[in-house]
A and B are shown apart, each in its own frame.
Chain A
C-alpha cells in the first residue's frame, strides 16, 4: 500500500517537469490549462466523496468542488464576453494524462491510506499549480481581465493550499 501512495505522490510532484516552457503559452492556452486544472481537482474531490468517510476530507472535497466550479464559471463567462475559446495545448494534455494515473492509484486505496494519499496529493497539486500560476502564467498574460481572473484564482488556490496543509496534519 505504501508503494501506491508513493506512486501517487511521485506523479503529482513530477507534473511541472516539462520539455516545453509553460511561460510560452498564450492567454487562450493558459485559460485552457486553468480550466483543465480546475476540472482535474473537481474529479479528485468527487473520488474523495465516493471513498472517504472522514469529515475533514469530505469538507475539503466539497469546498474544492464549489470553489473550482465557481472559478470555471467565471472563466467561461469572461471568455464568452471576450468572444474567445480556450485552446488545447501540451500542458493541459500533460495534466490530464497525469491525473488519470493518479485517479487510478487513488481509486485502489481505502480508509486512512486513501485519506493520507488524497491529502498529500491535494497539497502537492496546489503547490505545483500555484507555483506555475505565480511564476509562469500571471507574469505572461497579456489581457488585463484574464490576468485579473488568474490573480483572483491564485488567491483562492493559495487558501486551498493552506487548507490542504491543515488536512495533511489532520489525517496523520
Chain B
C-alpha cells in the first residue's frame, strides 16, 4: 500500500478539523461573543466558559436588552442598539440568564469552574 502526499495532507487536515468541529469549546482567559438578535441570545454552539473568560454581549435589535442572571449574580445592565458590553466571568456566576426587559428571552451559559 502506498500513501501519497495528498493522502497524507488530507489525513493531517482531517485531524486538524476534529477540534474545530467538536461541540465543546473549551477555553480560559478567552473572549467569546454572544449576539442579541431578533429577541434571541445567539451564543457559539456548544460554548463552555470558565472564570476569567470574557463575554462580549452585542445588541443588534432596535429594542434595548439586558443579559441578567436569574439569581442576580451578574448583569450587563441596559444594552442599547449597536452597543456592546464586556463582562468577565467570576466563580460567583450562575448560568441561567434572561433579558430583564423581555422575560421570555432566556438562555443558559455552560460554566465550568475547573
Contacts and interface: CB of A to CB of B under 8 A. Distances in A.
Nearest to A162: B104
Contacts of B38: 155
Q: Is the interface of A mostly helix, strand, loop or mixed?
A: helix
A107 interface: no
B64 interface: yes
A162 B39 CA distance: 12
A80 B38 CA distance: 25
B91 interface: no
Interface size class of B (residues with CB under 8 A): 10 to 19
Interface stretch (A6-14, A60-68, A92-100, A132-140): A60-68
A155 B39 CA distance: 9
Contact of B63 (A59, A66, A166): A66
A70 interface: yes
Contact of A67 (B63, B103, B104): B63
Interface in A146-172: 152-153, 155-156, 159, 162-163, 166
11 contacts: A62-B101, A66-B78, A67-B62, A67-B64, A70-B63, A71-B62, A153-B62, A156-B62, A156-B63, A162-B104, A163-B102
Interface of A: 59, 62-63, 66-67, 70-71, 74, 152-153, 155-156, 159, 162-163, 166
